[in-house]
Structure formats: structure tokens, C-alpha cells
Amino acid sequence: MAWDDLKDLYDYNAWANEEVRQVIGGLGKEAFSQDLRSSHRSLRGTVAHLASAEWIWLQRWKGISPGQMLPEEEFATPEMAVNRWTSIDQEVTDFVNTLKTSDLGVTFSFTTTEGKKLSGVLWQAMQHLVNHSSYHRGQIAALLRQLGETPRSTDLIKYYRVKAASV
């Protein structure tokens, strides 16, 4: 994978996450925590999972293998969730900005939260993170609709159009 393409993918991921945060930031705590019978129960659970996954992969790339995801309590309210997720996005951006093309093919090792030792190629894991986040942003959009809210589009093509219009 070309460095510029990966960087653009991460710019997209940060943009898409911010689009979601703009909507969830205006929700009440009750709606945010309401059990909607989804894979992570609520918007809160889904946001906590998405942000935690981004955090845990970043830690792994830095050579740290956390034993568990971030506690959902760090995402107790929409405001707390927006703040914590924003800080994770900034950490990811800072990390991505330190990389060089030669770093992308590096194999890194880590231990999963279940204690299994694995390794992977950095660029593949980085693509996985964006794909995983896109999947859960789609779930968040569906949950927002269940609550009568209007999610913002986070499609990749919309990002490219917004980016082209700002140049």
C-alpha cells in the first residue's frame, strides 16, 4: 500500500468519526445509553467499542498489548464519549504522521485481549482499523435512525467530494 493512500484513508477515518461525533454530541444521556438490542446494546456501547478498538490497535502498533478494551464508563455520557473519542483520534493522527513508507511493511507482534500471541503487517492492520470503524459507524447510523435522529453521511466518496471542494 502506498503511504499517501494510507494517510488519506486515515484522514477520511478522522473526518468520518467527527461527522458521527457531531450528531451524538447533541444527544441526551438517556437516548445515548438506551438499549436498542444491537450487537453492543446501545449507541454508547457501540461508540465505546469503536473508539476502544482504535485505541487498542494504536497501542499494539506502539508495542503495548492492553489486556482489555477501554471501560465503557469512559463513555458514560455523549460529552464524555465525544471527548475521549476525539483524544483517541488525535493520538492515532499523531502516530500516522510519524510513519514513513518503510514503516508500513513492518511486522509487529502483540497479545490479544484473550491472551493469544499474534503478529501482523502494519499496513494491513491499519487498513483493518479503518474498515472496522466504517462497519461500526454504519451501525451507529442505524441506531441513530431508531432514535429518530438523522445521521450524517460518512461515505468515502462524500469525503473525497468534501475534500475536493475545499481545495
* Cβ-proximal residues to 17 (8 Å cutoff; 6+ apart), any chain: 85, 89, 133, 137
DSSP-derived letter for residue 77 is S
Question: Mean pLDDT, to the nearest integer, of 84-113?
Answer: 97
Q: What does the pLDDT read at residue 3?
A: 86
Give the tens place of pLDDT for each residue, 38-97: 899 999 999 999 999 999 999 999 999 999 999 999 999 999 999 999 999 999 999 999
Q: What does the pLDDT read at residue 1?
A: 72
Q: What does the pLDDT read at residue 34?
A: 96
Answer yes or no: pTM beyond 0.85: yes
Residue with cell 506502539: 62
Give the tens place of pLDDT for each residue, 134-166: 999 999 999 999 999 999 999 999 999 999 999
- Taking the C-alpha atoms of residue 104 and residue 86, their distance in angstroms, rounded to an integer, is 24
Other beta carbons less than 10 A from residue 102's beta carbon: 8
* Cβ-proximal residues to 138 (8 Å cutoff; 6+ apart), any chain: none
Lookup: cell for 63: 508495542
Q: For residue 72, what are the domain limits?
A: 3-165
Phi then psi dihedrals of residue 110, to 5 deg:
-155, 165
Q: What does the pLDDT read at residue 167?
A: 80
- Nearest by Cα to 134 from 78, 33, 50, 44: 50
**Number of structural domains found in the chain:** 1
Domain of 32: which CATH number? 1.20.120.450
Q: What does the pLDDT read at residue 121?
A: 98
